[in-house]
Structure 1
Amino acid sequence: MKGFKDGCRPYIGPNGCHIHGLYGGILLVTVGIDANNDLFPLVVAVVEVECTDSWTWFLKNLEACIGQNKSRGNWTFMSDQQKGLGLALDKVFPYAFHRFCERHMYANFRSDYHGMLLRLDFWIAARAFNLHDWNTAMEEMSKHKDEAVRIMARKDKETWARHSFNPFAKCENITNNDVESFNSWVRDLRDLHLDPSLEIMHPPLMKRLSGRPRRN
């Protein structure tokens, strides 16, 4: 936790994935990003189901370790809007900034608004680094489907439009690929019983963290 607070960006990716062993359950994780844009695993826990109560318990333990970070502009959380996570974040980290994964947002967008031109407009708007480029992309989207623009305009730009992101995070990510990479790394371990999977996960995590440059 000291390494995260001293040397990483104030950016956290929470996620949950199913455990496929005999007893089931959900593996909750949070992943940070260091100054070299490398993954920095933070917290791993196992809960019965993914719900508001589970996320609240998990985030309260995280908050006990890292605090609210008001001195550095507060934390920024990137999620794919997992079940119960939004309410838990509002409760435990009321001052934090939220981002929503663009891949998941586009999957919902695509279900109602099809076509390559709308897809291109969506991603140009999401990736735009300034208001001018964002407005241009939204104008193009309105030419192809005016209703799509009205739907996107109802969403808080700070959650999905890169040009409106909280600058204190010092991170331009618009997807949660970082935490998905962690889930992919532990995929085979999720088929084991709980104790062996956590025991096997621990040494490579410690090795990864111990190999990071240390501050004097």
Structure 2
Amino acid sequence: MENLLTWSLPGSPCRQELESISPSLPCSTQNALAPLPEVNLVKWKDLFMGVGQTFDDAIVFRKALYKYSLAHRFGYIFVRNSPKKMIVKCNIDGCKWKISTYALGKTTSILGNVEKTSNEIRQDLYKEYGLNLTYRQALRGKDRALEEIHGLPQQSYMLIPWLCEKLKETDPYTVAKWVSSTNYRFDRLFIAYGCCIKGFLQGARSILFIDGSHLNGPYKGTLLAASAIDANNDLFPLAYAIVGGETYDNWAWFLENVREITHQVQLTIVSDRHNAIVGAVRAIFDGNRHAFCYRHVKENYSSEFTKINRGMRRIDGMTKEDALKLLDNIAYARLETEFHVTMGHLMVFSPQLARWLETNGDINRWALARFPYKRWDNITSNHAESFNAWLVKERKHHICALINEHRAKLARKLYNSKIEIANWSNGVGPRVEAKLRENVLRAEVMVAEHYSVNMILVKGNVYSYVEECYTIRVQEKIYSSTVISVETIDMPQLIGLHYEDYEKNTFLEPPLTTRPPGRPPTKRRES
């Protein structure tokens, strides 16, 4: 006999199906010689009633099973007891009584799970209510739920001017700018919160990671971001902009605003080799301190190796893994002499690949030994990619929801980072501590090949040699300010606007966009 039951585990709510209860009572009940007292037991005899029965969680189910066994005077054992499946049987050999459950999935509703795909919503509604919706019905329901939560997408742009003024009014150090085209149609938006600007100028290192990512909301667009790193090498968001696309004009406008808020600090910029970024950095920051992401170079290098060796027989010691290891040695070589040695190894390995790297690889922009400016061993733009992943869900919403959700998420991040400082030991963060210990262990097995009488033995506390930018004092400066909440009591009501409302406020129209053909992509394409 089939039975349904719903139960939840801490941190992982899920539904379970009671596969069977057979026979109706276990052998120990049928063989009982004398009845137990009926006090407090009568109501326990019918705790398992049949199809559709539900329990709040696993603990309630186990208590019900225990009471049921007392009422019917039988013992039981768990054949299987896991989050995915539970099987219980009578403890008497030969008794066929057994009850089993298995996980069906998480309890859901459209309003509570708007981040789910339409197919996931269809499956959940079918399992929970037996509703068999089409894909478009589930999509329309999801869109309706998003409108109830965030409002109409086309109306969100109307609040941009008011929101920018409110941000600057709340925190005078905040920079919030918007640009419109003709007829007050939205074009660009730039936001940098005062707490981020002050934190960067007071303690963060003078290196920024920039990148762009696509917005998946109704009006598309691109999110440009500039991120720094704190004393523990964690992401520290500085500024972002919402524009129509990754063009030279948009990047130049964004970087010009970044230069203004950083007060002409000599910045090292790390990015991929997007033509618009390269041109804009050269125009705004003269391009000398522009470092390229090594990971993107490595991907191109790997593709070039495949082209060169296409159709050739594989030889031991000449594989792609060997080629990539040689490139890593070139990238992380710290001394010029070490760099030339590793380049020589690549020339012996594959002259064609070495010549390609010299002519197309922009070695001076990513190799540690060749880049003349300080970059604190950051040879990739992973921190920029981390920012994109940090807002992967928010980038699906309309512009006002994105701004508000980013601000709330930033406030939580700054607060948590400030609280975590209390857990730092030896005056440095956990990541720096781990790296320091790794270097100390490596130093224990190092051998001095060229010993001389001029060698100096360094003694003392190893933490006293840590650079100031990694210390707890700098971290406290970076997170000395927090995001100030914005009051929305006087926010314009967009329903039933009158002529006087347009005289008091500036309302923007959404941008003119053309949706590309096909289904919207769910994964970001790396440049």
Secondary structure of 1:32 counterpart: strand
For 1:6, give the aligned amino acid.
Q
Once residues 26 and 76 of structure 1 are traced to their aligned partners in structure 2, the CA distance between those partners, rounded to angstroms, is 23
Once residues 179 and 95 of structure 1 are traced to their aligned partners in structure 2, the CA distance between those partners, rounded to angstroms, is 19
Once residues 139 and 96 of structure 1 are traced to their aligned partners in structure 2, the CA distance between those partners, rounded to angstroms, is 27
User: Once the two structures are superposed, what CA deviation does each residue of 1:49-101 show, in whole Å capped at 9, x if it has no partner?
Assistant: 111000001011111111332xxxx2111101224011101111116501111
For 1:88, give the aligned amino acid.
A
Say if 2:268 and 2:373, in contact at 8 Å, map to a contact too: no
Whichever structure has more helix as a proportion of its residues is 1
Once residues 113 and 85 of structure 1 are traced to their aligned partners in structure 2, the CA distance between those partners, rounded to angstroms, is 27
Cα offset, 1:156, TM superposition: 4.4
Q: Identity of paired residues, percent?
A: 31
Which residue is equivalent to 2:371? Answer: 165
Once residues 90 and 139 of structure 1 are traced to their aligned partners in structure 2, the CA distance between those partners, rounded to angstroms, is 32
Once residues 165 and 3 of structure 1 are traced to their aligned partners in structure 2, the CA distance between those partners, rounded to angstroms, is 27
- Correspondence for 2:278 among 73, 86, 97: 86
For 1:18, give the aligned amino acid.
H
Cα offset, 1:144, TM superposition: 1.5
Once residues 117 and 37 of structure 1 are traced to their aligned partners in structure 2, the CA distance between those partners, rounded to angstroms, is 30
Q: Does 1:145 align with 2:350?
A: yes
**How much is the aligned-residue C-alpha RMSD, in angstroms?**
1.8
Q: Does 1:102 align with 2:294?
A: yes
Which residue is equivalent to 2:226? Answer: 30
For 1:151, give the aligned amino acid.
W
For 1:163, give the aligned amino acid.
A
Q: Does 1:7 align with 2:212?
A: no
Secondary structure of 2:242 counterpart: strand
Say if 1:125 and 1:161, in contact at 8 Å, map to a contact too: yes
Which residue is equivalent to 1:181? Answer: 386
User: Once the two structures are superposed, what CA deviation does each residue of 1:129-159 show, in whole Å capped at 9, x if it has no partner?
Assistant: 2223222221111112112222222354431
- Correspondence for 1:214 among 446, 468, 476: 476
- Correspondence for 1:130 among 324, 335, 339: 335
Once residues 93 and 67 of structure 1 are traced to their aligned partners in structure 2, the CA distance between those partners, rounded to angstroms, is 13
Say if 1:190 and 1:197, in contact at 8 Å, map to a contact too: yes
Distance 1:157 1:108, change over 3 A: closer
Structure 2 gaps of 5+ residues are: 1-196, 307-319, 419-474, 481-527
Say if 2:281 and 2:287, in contact at 8 Å, map to a contact too: no
Secondary structure of 2:256 counterpart: helix
Q: Does 1:111 align with 2:316?
A: no
Say if 2:289 and 2:373, in contact at 8 Å, map to a contact too: no
- Correspondence for 1:45 among 241, 250, 253: 241
Distance 1:112 1:156, change over 3 A: closer
Distance 1:172 1:209, change over 3 A: same
Cα offset, 1:128, TM superposition: 1.4
User: Once the two structures are superposed, what CA deviation does each residue of 1:102-141 show, in whole Å capped at 9, x if it has no partner?
Assistant: 1111111121114222111111101112223222221111
Once residues 131 and 165 of structure 1 are traced to their aligned partners in structure 2, the CA distance between those partners, rounded to angstroms, is 11
Say if 1:100 and 1:174, in contact at 8 Å, map to a contact too: yes
Secondary structure of 1:113 counterpart: helix
Q: Which one scores higher on RCO, CA 8 angstroms, separation ≥ 6?
A: 1
Which residue is equivalent to 1:54? Answer: 250
For 2:283, give the aligned amino acid.
K
Distance 1:126 1:4, change over 3 A: same
Once residues 410 and 275 of structure 2 are traced to their aligned partners in structure 1, the CA distance between those partners, rounded to angstroms, is 27
Which residue is equivalent to 2:398? Answer: 193
Once residues 34 and 166 of structure 1 are traced to their aligned partners in structure 2, the CA distance between those partners, rounded to angstroms, is 22
